[in-house]
Amino acid sequence: MRQRTKEFALRVIRMFASLPNTAVAQVLGKQVLRSGTSVGANYREASRARSKAEFISKCGDALRELEESSYWMELLVDAGVVSSDQLSSLLKECDELTAIFVTIAGLRGKQDAHSS
């Protein structure tokens, strides 16, 4: 996951660098740049968590950043800044990472419930 979230961030960076130099593209692009690069940082923090609760909280932060990234990318497509084909692979990876983080946080949450 560490490498996968880093690769996701690098793909977001490359996508941002390829955006047109228009106000709309840059505003939306900076939003996805911020959220997309935060996913891996939150995962790294989660992997160093001192407790299960802290782990789940940081995974939740990563999930929020993934949801936000998806939103901004959808806006880039819906606003006509980029085609859906250009972002389909990146959106698919965003969805897959979301599913993974939901599973990780859900499993850890169930373990906490059983240990109480």
CATH number for the domain that contains residue 83? 1.20.1440.60
Question: Which of 30, 22, 26, 12 is closest to 87 using CA atoms?
Answer: 12
* Amino acid 107: pLDDT: 52
Number of domains in the chain: 1
pLDDT in tens, 33-84: 999 999 999 999 999 999 989 999 999 999 999 999 999 999 999 999 999 9
SS3 33: helix
- Can you give the residue range of the structural domain that contains 86? 2-115
Check if the beta carbon of residue 44 is closer than 8 Å to that of residue 2.
Answer: yes
Q: Is the pLDDT reported for residue 114 higher than 70?
A: no
Question: Distance between CA atoms of 75 and 82, rounded to whole angstroms?
Answer: 9
Rounded to two decimals, the pTM is 0.88
